[in-house]
Amino acid sequence: MKKVIAILVVVLGFAFSTNAQDKMDKAAVKTVSLEQTKGEFTQKQLTLSEGTYIFEVANNNVGHNVGFVLAPKADAKAHIKNAYVTAQVKNNTKETSKEVTLTKGEYVYFCPLNPTPQYTLIVE
């Protein structure tokens, strides 16, 4: 009987520690909220720490669908596809990207559908 209880304690302890780790990993993902108006983002530059992010993009009365592109500043055509919103952002709604892990460096973000200028995102 003591062996059964000991095994049960070990199994439950492992389950709880794994669940706590999953929650910690989820907490490490931060959300960056961006807003687009006609022809521009309201946030002109961002500075972030290295880490994992989800980008939430709001379409504030642009009048048509918008999107989101993130790319290294050195090559704006090398889009980071996980940063794309999962669906075009309809007028007066919000959409999010998948998780994106960013390392130190400079990036640009823009919307080719709006269209907007390229803005700078710095990861320190």
- Report field, pTM of the whole predicted structure over 0.85: no
> Domain holding 109: CATH number?
2.60.40.420
Q: 26-79: per-residue pLDDT in tens? A: 569 999 999 999 999 999 999 999 999 999 999 999 999 999 999 999 999 999
Domain assignment of residue 54, yes or no: yes
Q: 78-92: per-residue pLDDT in tens? A: 999 999 999 999 999
Domain assignment of residue 69, yes or no: yes
Domain assignment of residue 8, yes or no: no
pLDDT category of residue 12 using cuts at 50, 70 and 90: very low
Distance CA 92, CA 58 (A): 7
Domain assignment of residue 17, yes or no: no
The boundaries of the domain holding residue 102 are 29-123
- Kindly state the tokens that stand for 5: 């209880």
How many domains are contained in the chain?
1
Structural contact between residues 69 and 84, judged by C-beta atoms closer than 8 angstroms: yes
Domain assignment of residue 13, yes or no: no
Domain assignment of residue 75, yes or no: yes
pLDDT at 4 exceeding the cut of 50: no
Domain assignment of residue 104, yes or no: yes
Domain assignment of residue 2, yes or no: no
Task: For residue 53, give every residue at least 6 positions away whose Cβ sits within 8 Å of its Cβ, in sequence order, or none.
Answer: 29, 30, 31, 32, 99, 100, 101, 102
